[in-house]
Amino acid sequence: MNSALALNISLSGALGVIAQVGDLNMGQPLRHSQRVARLARMLAWARHGDGEHLRLAEQVALLRWSGCTANAEGFADLLGDDVDGRRAMLDLTLGKEEMNAVHQAAPLAVVHCEVSGEIAKTLELGAAVKAGLCHVFEAYDGTGRPQGLTHEYIPEVAYQVVLAGDLDILSRAYGLDAALRRIREQSDRRYPAYLASLLIGNAREWLADLEAPSQLTDHAQTERYVSLTLVGDVIDLKLPWLAGHSRQVAHVAMGAACQWGLGEPALNEIGKAALVYSLGRAAVSNHLWNTAGALPYGAAERVHLVPYWTQQALRPFN
């Protein structure tokens, strides 16, 4: 087998696929992070006009959940179901006791931020993206995690992304008017009032604009290519006992294809497919993956949906 084969993907493709992994693992609809990236970009433009800050908001939004597979096991231990539990956490339906436990579990936020920061570093996205990712759980009033920083230490892009995420999630869960009331209530608590007001004043128009085709990232950004092995590593972080699994699957699959006499184009496609074949696993709770013996009634259906989620998540990148 030709070890020099490069299993690469465009930077925009890598960001998009990693975002889909995060959406599934956080119990969100596919393309949620794409919507958040567009909303964050709109908010950044309304605040500062054109400039590099638009790309910054977009990339932080797409990678916001990139560390969530790394602490999935911890959330499974804490909430019983890392996927449904985090969905409930985001749409504010998680019980008070469970939510208090989440707020006290600072190490889980640390892991998430460290991993997402390392992913940004590996993708060579710059210090500002890494800083934004490391502060998305902090709050304006200092009650956030993991460090409890106050607003003067939190980059504005973190607020832009959190506001965009809250708008998308809460408007879907409660309707737009109720979502805006909840966002207004968090002014100068979760995010600065000036930025919340800017979002609230434009929210209806911006949500309508999401129905138009996406125009994320200019063409120059999509021309740089990165290794797809990073995406496989992010997928594998979901379960501690899967470390290195996707790379090994790709190695074995490409070795077999080479023995069959397939050429480099086919080897490349097989290697890429092997690295992401289990992406849909992110949609299933770690509790089920860690179950010894037969799965409980109904649970097998969720596992059977893994190929479906993989296909749907990768469809935009075919």
Tens-digit pLDDT profile for residues 148-197: 999 999 999 999 999 999 999 999 999 999 999 999 999 999 999 999 99
Let me know if domain 10-220 sits in CATH 2.40.50.140. Answer: no
Tokens representing 46? 């309304």
Give the mean pLDDT of the chain. Answer: 93
CA distance 288 to 219: 41
Closest listed residue to residue 180, CA positions, set 163, 161, 194, 192:
163
Nearest to 57 by CA among 168, 156, 177: 156
Element (H, E) at 227: strand 225-227
Q: Extract the tokens encoding 258.
A: 């080479």
CA–CA gap between residue 177 and residue 21 (Å, rounded):
30
> Whole-model pTM?
0.94
- Asked if pLDDT for residue 59 goes beyond 70, the answer is yes
Q: What is the pLDDT of residue 292?
A: 87
Calculate the CA 45 to chain-centre distance: 22
**294 pLDDT band (50/70/90 cuts)?**
confident
Q: Where are the domains of the chain?
A: 10-220, 225-317
